[in-house]
Chain A
């Protein structure tokens, strides 16, 4: 096994270890939530018998350690458990919801990532001149505003006043044709793009500027290459590692952090589902969502690590 293989195995096992630790935190967190689960479900009018019956039914009368391993065993085998509120299998509901979230996050990523990198390159090209300053100022403005504020503003302007797009995502159906689905999520995609743009753009700009100080860039310039070609062919490949890192971080944010946007635009994804579950103290659903979100975060960061390792020539060509 080469050094790359070794590093990969190391990273993946570290990721799994981290996921295991997260599962302990999630389980412990839901256990110390105030109020007994059965009490939350049955409410004030619960009789002691009904409480005891429900506790036995839910298995919460067993010691926490035993319950934890039972739960973990299920997760490892891909069984997320059963929702307390609806009695349905969590796999089934989450599967549908998660697909919706991925669709929204995916569309936002397809728009946001190339756009952010392009803006970053543009900012480097016109460094310290008005296009650079304008790009920085506008993206930093949109990242500084809470998502729901941008959401409401765009909903009002693009949805209600100009009527370009649907103001809410209520028209979204998983079974509708692609164009209808895109139209329904147009404004949420714009909002998400505005939110993640600045971070990726600034990182691209900083990483490339860093590389631009190097001697080989000077050489390229002396060769007479146009400044944009210098950036594209010589500077960018060497700045990939930090850029990929920040792109992955933002992709993870797009999947995990869309809760507010989903709730505001009434999009049937994981966010709204998680909020409903927390309100009703539907613990197995909260745990399942927590694990999925954690897995996404860890997984995407793992990919970022791997890509930066592979992009590093010193690791690819060991002496």
Chain B
């Protein structure tokens, strides 16, 4: 049977029969439609990428006030645009590790305080200029500098000094950090000639495409960079059109105005995927929708109270009804299998008896007040209502207060003791924990102050032994899960969709959606 299927798959790849015919044949041979599509995907890939053609992207998250300065990118469109004409030093590889882009190789000193990045030999910027270690050093300087407005400033606060030496850029840190290379894959830190100090918005970099024409918040046109050093970049032309409206974006894909779109709303993803010429790509992510309690405010300052609420939430129900199945259950830590040093814990289940036991033990006999708003995450008020129901079954009374969207992030989140919120993922544990769970973190939105946790986090930064580090993060995860103020019921998927004019989607790419912004470079237009 498999030989027969392989034969048909090869014929589709060559364009001798259509996808639909293939699916019909595969189903006749006893395969499910999904399995047939998977099989076909690998067959088409085996046929190899094709060069040329125009790839059209319909993207949300663009505005006429965006800038081409990579330091200022804060939404999807500018990020994607910058990563087409430019590249950071390194990028995430498909296995969650790192691979070199502008940097050919890198290594840290034994104490992880001095890092040396060797510039890739023979590569040039799109203006023809050779890339030097001085350009790398200047880029880091600009983002880490005192007047920096860069979104990556927080990552680079610990940089003490950066200098160019021969073909290497050497970064010295104030404190040990084994994750520095992971920080430098951040999409803001795109290497520019002289670090972009002369003209940060020139859009000159080492990326696979060259920006030919643009109107901010409307459209961007790229052409293949003929001197690009790497393999990526199959389409001859890329056209990126900003379509912020969800319905319009989906309609543009369905009618063939664009070939690929980002952020398909979970509510309609199933319907969109039913069209024969459209493939919906739902990819697990590290982003999560949460309920956050302040560990230092009554009644949440009692660990039994926190445990009662954690046991009283039905995680699977949230995934089914809020994410419409496009996601996975959380386990009350911000970490999931998308992270490199991940250890699996026993899954915490909905258990009304345990919830009641801890609630009684906490001695609290009032009503819990949860604040929520529409923009705290998609479907948050519905999720709050589900939570209220499941707690009610355990005899825990909860009141929901609906807050206005306007001002939610300044008046409610990080201000009120119990509310709904969301977090995007980070590439490594250290970044996630340092952002929100360290006692001194900028956004410690659960008011979590735990000395043992802090010590482990600082120690793990300087620990280069992977096994030891993994154990440390596992210990920290246990502390957060049992004592922290985070109730994390679900991790949301990134949902993108492309028409079958495009091939080459790779599943399971870590990082952000759109194959961590590499889809336009790694997919190709089939003839």
Contacts and interface: CB of A to CB of B under 8 A. Distances in A.
A159 B258 CA distance: 13
B248 A86 contact: no
Contacts of A171: 257
B245 A83 contact: no
A280 B216 CA distance: 14
A86 B243 CA distance: 20
Contacts of A263: 244-245
Interface stretch (B60-68, B327-335, B345-353): B60-68
Interface string A76-117: 000000010110000001000000000000000000000000
B217 interface: yes
B58 to A, nearest CB: 7
Nearest to A166: B257
Contact of A167 (B149, B219, B257): B257
B64 A170 contact: no
B413 to A, nearest CB: 12
A168 B257 CA distance: 8
A86 B65 contact: yes
A280 B63 contact: yes
Contacts of A159: 251, 255
A183 B216 CA distance: 23
A168 B251 contact: yes
Contact of B63 (A155, A156, A166, A276): A276
Interface in A148-203: 152, 155-156, 159-160, 163, 166-168, 170-171
Contacts of B215: 268
A236 interface: no
Contact of B64 (A160, A265, A266, A276): A276
26 contacts: A42-B149, A45-B153, A155-B251, A156-B251, A159-B251, A159-B255, A160-B254, A166-B255, A167-B251, A167-B255, A167-B257, A168-B243, A168-B248, A168-B251, A168-B252, A168-B257, A170-B219, A170-B258, A263-B245, A264-B245, A264-B247, A266-B243, A268-B218, A276-B64, A277-B64, A277-B65
A305 interface: no
A83 B65 contact: yes
A263 B245 CA distance: 7
Nearest to B245: A264
Contacts of A280: 63, 65
A167 B243 CA distance: 12
A205 to B, nearest CB: 35
B242 interface: yes
A298 to B, nearest CB: 26
A197 B248 CA distance: 24
Contacts of A83: 65
Given A166-B255, A170-B243, A268-B215, A85 B65 contact: yes
Shortest 4 CB-CB distances between A and B: which pairs?
A: A85-B65, A167-B251, A276-B63, A170-B241
Contact of B242 (A163, A266, A277): A266
Nearest to B241: A170
A91 to B, nearest CB: 15
Nearest to A280: B65
Interface in B198-247: 215-219, 241-245, 247
A279 to B, nearest CB: 7
How many A residues touch the partner, as a band? 20 to 34
B218 A160 contact: no
Contacts of A42: 149
A147 interface: no
Contacts, number: 73
Contact of B252 (A45, A152, A170): A170
A203 B215 CA distance: 41
Contacts of A297: none
A71 B219 CA distance: 31
A313 to B, nearest CB: 49
A158 B218 CA distance: 23
B255 A170 contact: no
Interface string A46-74: 00001000000000000000000000000
B241 A266 contact: yes
A50 B242 CA distance: 32
- Choose among A45, A166, A168, A272 the residue with the greatest number of B CB atoms under 10 Å from its CB: A168
A190 to B, nearest CB: 15
A155 B257 CA distance: 13
Contacts of B218: 268
Nearest to A277: B65
Contacts of B219: 170
Contacts of B216: 86
Contacts of A268: 215, 217-218
A310 B254 CA distance: 52
Interface in A118-169: 152, 155-156, 159-160, 163, 166-168
Given A170-B252, A264-B245, A268-B215, A279 B63 contact: yes
Nearest to A263: B245
A163 B254 CA distance: 10
Given A168-B251, A276-B64, 7 more contacts: A50-B147, A86-B65, A168-B257, A170-B257, A171-B257, A277-B65, A282-B65
Interface string B144-166: 00010100010000000000000
B241 A160 contact: no
Interface in B23-68: 58, 63-65, 67
A155 B65 contact: no
A200 to B, nearest CB: 28
A273 interface: yes
B67 A86 contact: yes
Nearest to A34: B407
A160 B255 CA distance: 5
A273 B244 CA distance: 13
A156 B251 CA distance: 7
B64 A93 contact: yes
Nearest to A155: B251
Contacts of B248: 155, 167-168, 264-266
A15 B217 CA distance: 35
A159 B251 CA distance: 8
A164 to B, nearest CB: 10
A163 B255 contact: yes
- Choose among B149, B244, B255 the residue with the greatest number of A CB atoms under 10 Å from its CB: B255
Contacts of B254: 160, 167
A155 B247 contact: yes
Nearest to A53: B147
Contacts of B244: 263, 266
A97 B58 CA distance: 21
Contacts of B247: 152, 155, 264
Nearest to A93: B64
A56 to B, nearest CB: 15
Interface in A234-276: 263-266, 268, 272-273, 276
Nearest to B215: A268
A272 B251 contact: no
Contacts of B245: 263-264, 266
